[in-house]
Amino acid sequence: MDRIKRFMGKDAKIGYSFLAPALILFALLNIYPTIYSFILSFHKWNGLDPHMDFVGISNYLEIFKDKIFHKALLNTAFFSVFTVVVQSFLALLLAVFIENVRQKKLRAFFRITYYFPAIISPVVVALIWGWMFHPYNGALNNILNTTFFWLSDKRTVMPAILIANLWQWTGYNALIFSAGLQSVPKEIYEAADIDGANAWNKFWHVTIPSLKPVASVVIVTTLINGIKVFGLVQVMTAGGPNHLSEVMTTWLYKNAFGLGRLGYASAMGYVMTFISFILTFIYLKQVNKND
Amino acid sequence: MKKIKSLFSNMNYLVLIIGTVITMYPVLWVLVSSFKGRREFAKDYFFPAGKWHFEHYVQAWVDGNFGTYYFNSIFVTFFSVALGILFASLAAYAFTRLEFKGRNIIFYAFLATMMFPPQLGLIPLFLIFKKLHLLNTYWALIIPYTNGAIPVSMFLLRGYFKQLPYELDEAAMVDGANHLTIFFKLILPMSKPVLATTFMMTALGTWNEYLLALTFIQDEALKTLPVGIIEFQNQLAVNYPMLMSGNVLSFLPMVLVFIFLQKYFIKGITGGALD
């Protein structure tokens, strides 16, 4: 590496020029909108008037009092936390079962099968599960022989969305755990065997600790994706009958493009991002504390 | 002991098979239902009773304008991903083979963008595209999608480039090659596997993207598949099997790609750690 440096020199110039295309897009599509959004959040604007009205922090104050936002926040939190807990657990379990299969080809078959839902667009998943939960002709009601409105009842609408989401991503995360499981060196298990450990001991004291980094990745990405969820909810219920299944992203979208409240929606975007940062930060702190 | 072992192994298979059924059932149900007659759907048997109605697919394709949607999705996805990977690989080369200030910070800054919800920048992007008259053009999607493909690609490619030995670079330099030549004639050709994997992973996300496609494109002729299928569902109300055939048409392309190239998708999330 040093020889390269000495030979070429002028590394920085070339380095930045190689980075230039990515950096330009980054500035245009990440930095600029973030700043503009911040400014917009202190204004009131419907996007059509020639000028915006500066309103200070009143957008943020209004979010604080917005009952629908509260509902959306609760739904988002419920959705994210529940998904993280249930999905991670199921995915890990699934991974263990998959890796227990002896035949390589059979293992590969199961991996492909479980990954499969993840490649379908979330909005198409929403349509499929919308059909599954359809009150009159849906698969679920056909089997149960009833006409329950799963997607309209306040007790079942969020669980229904959760199920669709679990269906889509559990297998995907199971594969990530599979990779984690396979990367545990066999020697550790052998050492545990010598110490007289049984299967449960090995699982609890060798496997689980070794999976901590992988589990961390799975948990954080699932959490972030849970907060960002949009297409699935928007298409399955559009925020549910009367905001019952509203999540932060759908409510933001309604405010921005339905109600023409661009400043308010921008403020909401910031609050949402702030919350997601806090959650991630808290989680990461927890993980590092326990080490 | 052997009995317990085989009991566990049977339970293992049982769980996996139940899981497989749960995974496949919704898709198979939609698929099979799409062949039912229009009025049959109200009955609750799984398979169509009489003949299988393939004409729903033809009707869906024509009425639903799927040809247009397929074309738009392919076009937008291909260009965005190709550009994104090009930019990301240039950056990854810089990160691994060049020394300059801020090398690591910039890399992590790119990764950090994956944490932000797209809604944050959605409104300003919409406004700036509107101002530049880019709304309802392919650029309104290609530009953000290219940007979106970069962080993941950068991550995967940088990891791979790091492992490529420097001796080859040095040998090339002795022969008088500059960095650009090394990049295009040496590094890229050696990176075919990771490029294929990266291509698949980013193409998947781009193909399935909904929020930006919904917000930036109103023109029917330019809509991509996810937006198109929702359009289709909302317009035609009562012929459920036909709606379902539209549904199948919308996930069919990616499923076919997945079946034939699944090793790339799996590699993409497991980094080749699975046997």
Provide the ipTM.
0.89
Does B22 map to a domain? no
Q: In the structure, what pLDDT confidence band is assigned to residue B91 with cuts at 50, 70 and 90? A: very high
- Domains held by chain A: number: 2
| A 31-70 residues with CB < 8 A to B | 32-34, 36-37, 40, 47
Give the total number of structural domains in chain B. 1
With respect to residue B139, please indicate whether it lies within any of the assigned structural domains. yes
User: Is residue A63 a part of any domain in this protein?
Assistant: yes
Q: What is the mean pLDDT of chain A?
A: 89
**A142 contacts in B (CB within 8 Å)?**
44
pLDDT confidence bin for A51, thresholds 50/70/90: confident
A230 and A284 in a single domain? The answer is yes
Mean pLDDT of A199-224: 86
**Closest-CA residue of chain A to B232:** A127
Model pLDDT, residue A116: 93
Structural domain harbouring A31:
2-40
Confidence band of A175 (pLDDT split at 50, 70, 90): very high
Query: Any CB–CB contact under 8 A between A278 and chain B?
Result: no
Average pLDDT value for residue range A35-54: 90
If asked whether residues A77 and A115 sit together in one domain, one would say yes
Chain A hits for B91, CB-CB cut-off 8 Å, are 18-19, 21-22
Interface of A with B in 213-272 (CB under 8 A): 224, 227-228, 230-231, 234-235, 249, 252-253, 256-257, 262, 265-266, 269-270, 272
- Asked if B198 contacts B272 with a C-beta cutoff of 8 angstroms, the reply is no
The sign of the dihedral angle between the CA atoms of B150, B152, B155, B161 is: negative
Q: Please state, in angstroms and as integers, the Cα–Cα distance from residue A56 to each residue in A36, A43, A49, A253, following that order.
A: 15, 7, 19, 22
* Chain B residue nearest residue A1, CA to CA: B166
Q: What is the mean pLDDT of residues A258-268?
A: 93
Q: Does one domain contain both A20 and A90?
A: no
**Is the pLDDT score of A79 beyond 90?**
yes
Q: Is A48 a member of any domain?
A: no
* Residue A97 in contact with partner chain B when CB distance is under 8 A: yes
pLDDT, position A9:
54
Q: Domain check: are A221 and A169 in the same one? A: yes
Nearest CA in chain A to B203: A119
Would you report the helix, strand and coil content of chain B in percent, each value rounded to 5?
A: 80, 0, 20
Q: Which among B15, B16, B107 is the top mutation candidate for probing chain A, defined by the most A β-carbons within 10 Å of its own β-carbon?
A: B16
In which residue are the tokens 């009092």 written?
Answer: A65
- Per the CB < 8 A criterion, the answer to whether B188 and B125 are in contact is no
Closest residue by Cα to residue A132 from B57, B209, B18, B33: B33
> What pLDDT was estimated at residue A197?
78
Same domain, A76 and A171: yes
Contacts of residue A210, Cβ cutoff 8 Å, sequence gap at least 6: A180, A183, A184, A188
Question: Phi-psi region for residue A52, left (φ > 0), alpha (ψ -120 to 50) or beta?
Answer: beta
B195-245 pLDDT, tens per residue?
999 999 999 999 999 999 999 999 999 999 999 999 888 876 678 888 888
**Does residue A16 share a domain with residue A124?**
no
Please tell me if residue A116 touches chain B, with a CB cutoff of 8 Å.
yes
Q: B119-137 b/e with 16+ CB inside 10 Å = b?
A: bbbbbbbbbbbeeeebbbb
Distances (CA, A) of A90 to A99, B96, B216: 14, 38, 37
Position A165: which residue type?
N
Assign A6 a pLDDT band (cuts: 50, 70, 90): very low
Query: Are B231 and B246 contacting, i.e. CB atoms less than 8 angstroms apart?
Result: no
